[in-house]
Amino acid sequence: MTWISLIGITLAVFALIATLAVRAGFRAEFVDTILGANAHVTVLSAGSQAPDGRIVRGWPNYAELAGAIRNIPGVVQAAPVIRGQVMVTAGDATRGAEVYGMSGADLAAIPRIGKGAEHSGDLANYDQGLALGSGLARELGLAVGDRVRLISPQGARTALGISPRVKAYTVSYIFTAGRYDIDRTRIYMPFAEAQSFFNREGLADEIDVEVVNPEAIEDYGPALYQAGGPQAMLWTWKQSSGAFLRALTVEDNVMFVILSIIVLVATLNIVSGLIMLVKNKGRDIGILRTMGLTEGAVLRVFFLCGAVTGILGTICGVVLGSLFALYIDPIFSFVNYWAGGGVWDPSIRGIYALPARLQLQDVLSACALSLGLSFGVTIFPARRAARLNPVEALRYE
């Protein structure tokens, strides 16, 4: 029974730490890809009325506005951006994509897209072509130096209406942001070329802003509203990914509760073992009590029997869980190889690999839970042993 209790607690603590590490790693990787490839906050325009009565949305004074935003304390970057939807064709392949028009300097400053990111090609040639996500390039069979055509429904204005615009570009840069949906749908185009291609001459659709502390993005709101004026609207990264982040939080809490129940079930084996031990040692307890052993001494003996099992099981579980988190890549590679591949689908989960992040607070919470339950369930059989009447224990001896 002691060995069963020890193994049960070890596996329960291992499962708890491994799950908490994977949960923390997944959240950290997801947030990092959001912050590393997207604006922390986007400054949009509510629009203004043109002389012909049309509502024009965009920033005609984008250069001055970007400069004013850069002067706000805590702002790292403010980039004017043109955005549009296009069809991308190369050979017989056709895909839909989202185009971001921005300058080469602003593109280089994006952590997971520009300098330092996993890429092929040279950003120095960005002004002579396009930057494509690696997933999109792979689906279209493109490499650096190849030609690709973009088709936009918002083309040239004629007497018969707006005709689609088709234009060929050279692929000068291919990046890997680490997010499946970004790598297979995103294209970057030089800002001036994007203005011409999407009929946005003299305007910027938005100002993409990066800040020092994205977790406190709400604190930058008043200064950004003041810089943008009455027509400014803000869209933060928390708003765009809020539903997913809330779902992760709920999942974290539910998983911790479920795994806590598993730890509780494992610690109940200690109760079974101690109750059997008390029954088997009833005669010995009676003899020791008649020799002067106190109730407190008996309680401590049996409490230590259960507590040592809980402590050893917790230590073994922490070691196994920590090793799993530290060596998750080779472990996952082995599982993927053993299963014949396809265990992790990035099109569903968004990222390319199973991450794990071992955090001290997760280990401490797992240890506190396991030790607390182990000590708590041990008290009942230990008190039963301590209150055993020596007369009853030796009546039939």
Same domain, 110 and 184: yes
Range of the domain at 366: 2-29+244-394
Q: What angle do CA 114, 118, 122 make, to 5 degrees?
A: 55
Does any domain span residue 42? no
Same domain, 182 and 62: yes
Instruction: Report how far residue 186's alpha carbon sits from residue 196's, in angstroms, rounded to the nearest whole number.
Output: 19
- pLDDT value for 328: 83
DSSP, collapsed to helix, strand or coil, labels residue 115 as: coil
Same domain, 76 and 24: no
- pLDDT value for 351: 64
DSSP, collapsed to helix, strand or coil, labels residue 303 as: helix
Same domain, 160 and 67: yes
Does any domain span residue 235? no
Q: Is 199 exposed, middle or buried (0-12, 13-18, 19+ CB in 10 A)?
A: middle
Instruction: Report how far residue 40's alpha carbon sits from residue 350's, in angstroms, rounded to the nearest whole number.
Output: 19
Q: Among residues 42, 188, 21, which one has the least CA distance to residue 101?
A: 188
Tokens (6 digits) for 253: 């809490």
- pLDDT value for 137: 93
Are 77 and 212 in contact by the 8 Å Cβ rule? The answer is: no
Same domain, 254 and 390: yes
Instruction: Report how far residue 83's alpha carbon sits from residue 335's, in angstroms, rounded to the nearest whole number.
Output: 41
Same domain, 86 and 175: yes
- pLDDT value for 278: 73
Same domain, 10 and 54: no
Are 101 and 190 in contact by the 8 Å Cβ rule? The answer is: yes
Does any domain span residue 305? yes
Same domain, 200 and 153: yes
Looking at beta carbons, which pairs linking 298-301 to residues 24 or more positions away fall under 8 Å?
Answer: 298/382, 298/385, 298/386, 298/388, 299/382, 299/383, 299/385, 299/386, 300/382, 301/382, 301/385
- pLDDT value for 54: 65
Does any domain span residue 39? no
Domain end position, chosen among 165, 199, 230: 230
Same domain, 51 and 133: yes
Same domain, 196 and 225: yes
Does any domain span residue 82? yes
Same domain, 359 and 274: yes
Does any domain span residue 261? yes
- pLDDT value for 53: 58
Does any domain span residue 239? no
Q: Among residues 154, 177, 189, 170, which one has the least CA distance to residue 81?
A: 189
pLDDT less than 50: residues of the chain: none
Residues composing the chain: 397
- pLDDT value for 199: 85
Q: What angle do CA 225, 200, 88 make, to 5 degrees?
A: 110
Same domain, 190 and 258: no
**Strands, E assignment, 163-258:** 165-176, 186-189, 206-211, 232-236
Does any domain span residue 207? yes
Q: How many domains does the chain have?
A: 2
